């Protein structure tokens, strides 16, 4: 059985796995489910730093997901070297995440390390900014909207095998 017929996997990554990557994980799972492809895709999230390991996502992230009828049950975890073999695609939310992922990737890594915002977002809007220190939920809503567009576009391109 060739690699293309196997289940594919995505790991969403931000600094602490508390705000952006849990939203991206939940949105990607929702996009996959709505496409009827949940048996073909595995989606998780992780943080570059382990500050929040075992914690639930930021309450504002959970509120935004709930308003969009998306449930989230996972807890924060830290990225491991094994993730670069386990996952087909690892997405950073901003350029700093992307640079850290590339530095952390072992020589034997097989995952494609990409910027989530590169999928369908306008050039000036591709960065999914960290909302942790913001007041309120407006920035979390923006993250949700960006993730929805990017995840839909990524899945469309991945299904056509257009991702290099």
Q: What is the pLDDT of residues 75-127, one digit of tens each?
A: 999 999 999 999 999 999 999 999 999 999 999 999 999 999 999 999 999 99
Q: Tell me the CA end-to-end span of the chain in Å, nearest whole number.
A: 21
Catalytic residue among 20, 30, 58, 94: 20
pLDDT for 68 beyond 80: yes
Average pLDDT along the chain: 94
Q: Give the mean model confidence (pLDDT) for residues 10-26.
A: 98
What pLDDT was estimated at residue 164? Answer: 60
Which of 8, 14, 19, 88 is the catalytic position?
A: 14
Task: Give yes or no: 130 in active site.
Answer: yes
Which of the following is catalytic: 30, 58, 88, 130? 130
Domains and CATH numbers, the chain: 3-159 (3.40.50.2300)
Residue-level pLDDT at 161 = 81
118 catalytic residue (yes or no): no
């Amino acid at each position: 059985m060739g690699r293309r017929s196997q289940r594919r996997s995505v790991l969403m990554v931000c600094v602490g796995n508390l705000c952006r990557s849990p939203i991206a994980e939940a949105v990607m799972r929702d996009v996959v489910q709505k496409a009827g492809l949940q048996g073909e895709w595995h989606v998780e999230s992780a943080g570059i730093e382990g500050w929040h390991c075992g914690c639930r996502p930021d309450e504002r992230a959970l509120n935004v997901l709930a308003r969009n009828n998306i449930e989230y049950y996972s807890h924060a975890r830290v990225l491991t070297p094994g993730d670069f073999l386990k996952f087909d695609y690892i997405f950073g939310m901003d350029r700093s995440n992307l640079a850290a992922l590339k530095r952390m990737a072992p020589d034997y890594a097989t995952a494609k390390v990409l910027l989530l915002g590169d999928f369908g977002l306008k050039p000036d809007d591709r960065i999914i900014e960290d909302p942790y220190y913001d007041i309120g939920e407006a920035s979390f809503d923006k993250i949700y909207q960006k993730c929805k567009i990017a995840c839909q576009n990524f899945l469309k391109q991945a299904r056509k095998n257009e991702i290099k």
